[in-house]
Amino acid sequence: MDFSFFNSLPMLFFIYNENGILESVLGGNEKKRYLNARKNIGKHINEIFEENLAQFILEKLQEVIKTKNSINFNYSIDINQFRDKTHTDLLNEPHWFEVIMSPIIDENEKITKVFWSQFSVQSYQENLSLLEEEKNKLKKLVMEDEFTGLYNRRYLYKILKEKLDYVTISKNRKCSLLSISIDNLSTINSNFGLFEGDKTIEFLAIEISKTFKEYATCCRFREGTFIVVLDNKEIKECELLAETFRNKIENSNIKDISKFTVSIGVTEIRKSDSNITDVLERLEEAVYYAKKAGKNKVYTTII
């Protein structure tokens, strides 16, 4: 096979024999990189690359020989993955390449060599990383309440639909909810200003997160109301958690904002609930009766 054409191209091409020995280096108008690569002719892959990368390349080489088909894959490499740290001018940062490995078949239909061509896809990988980063930011915006950092109402509806399905199809699955509502928030806003009200909401969000986030889903439902979804918790246990939290807020020593209290409604998802509206209406009813009873109370609605 005539490989002279490849010598006119700027990128490097490599020919390995079936045992993993580098036999030829072709192409490479960048003379420094070409001459450095040629130093490895006659060396086994294990002598050129560090163990993990060498094993990876050998597995790909054997795949081509076994299947007699070309394969392509992406890989990243940096100076630390070479045995000889001086042979290449690659940067210390990983550089991404797309590789095509093709079998060279002789007249007897036997594979004696493997042809390796590679092309830089560094800019593609960098753009892909940026795209993934932007996707994560967008996902965060879609799911999180911008002001408190807790999950928002959109995510609450999603998680409640999942929990409702679980409870409906599972024999013993439990899911309870707390609705934690700031008492007299409109009065706080009127007497001390909206900024004071915002600080009160922010303080409560932090306390909810510290108290429940490790084992529950915490969401901001509306201005001064938060919903905590407690998976696999009995209603009595949730009542105790609610009472403990109510007492904690009542007795908090708060800097920079006025003391306040919360009313908490408690309910659970039932198998008879046809949709999440049934659950949320029952939870709203519990909060209503907690406030009607004088505020700073816990009230449970299960019927």
Residues 44-86 have pLDDT tens digits of 999 999 999 999 999 999 999 999 899 999 888 888 888 887 7
Torsion of CA 197, 202, 207, 210, to 10 degrees: 170
- Against a cut of 0.75, is the pTM above it? no
Mean of per-residue pLDDT scores for the chain = 87
CA–CA separation, 128 vs 122, rounded Å?
10
Which pLDDT score, from 0 to 100, does residue 176 have? 95
Six token digits for residue 291: 């406030």
CA–CA separation, 183 vs 225, rounded Å?
10
CATH 3.30.70.270 placement within the chain: 144-300
Which pLDDT score, from 0 to 100, does residue 9 have? 64
**Helix residue ranges, H only, 68-212:** 122-143, 153-169, 185-192, 194-212
Give tens-digit pLDDT for 146-169.
899 999 999 999 999 999 998 988
160: three-class secondary structure by DSSP: helix
CATH 3.30.450.20 placement within the chain: 4-127
> CB burial class (10 A; 0-12, 13-18, 19+) of residue 143?
middle
Q: How confident is the model at residue 8 (pLDDT cuts 50, 70, 90)?
A: low
Give tens-digit pLDDT for 253-299.
888 888 999 999 999 999 999 999 999 999 999 999 999 999 999 99
Given a cut of 90, whether residue 229 has pLDDT beyond it is yes
Which pLDDT score, from 0 to 100, does residue 275 have? 93
Given a cut of 60, whether residue 91 has pLDDT beyond it is no
The closest of 27, 49, 46 to 38, measured between CA atoms, is 27
Q: Quick one: fold of 4-127? A: Beta-Lactamase (3.30.450)
Question: Domain 144-300 sits in which CATH superfamily?
Answer: Reverse transcriptase/Diguanylate cyclase domain (3.30.70.270)
Given a cut of 90, whether residue 94 has pLDDT beyond it is no
Given a cut of 90, whether residue 34 has pLDDT beyond it is no
Which pLDDT score, from 0 to 100, does residue 253 have? 85
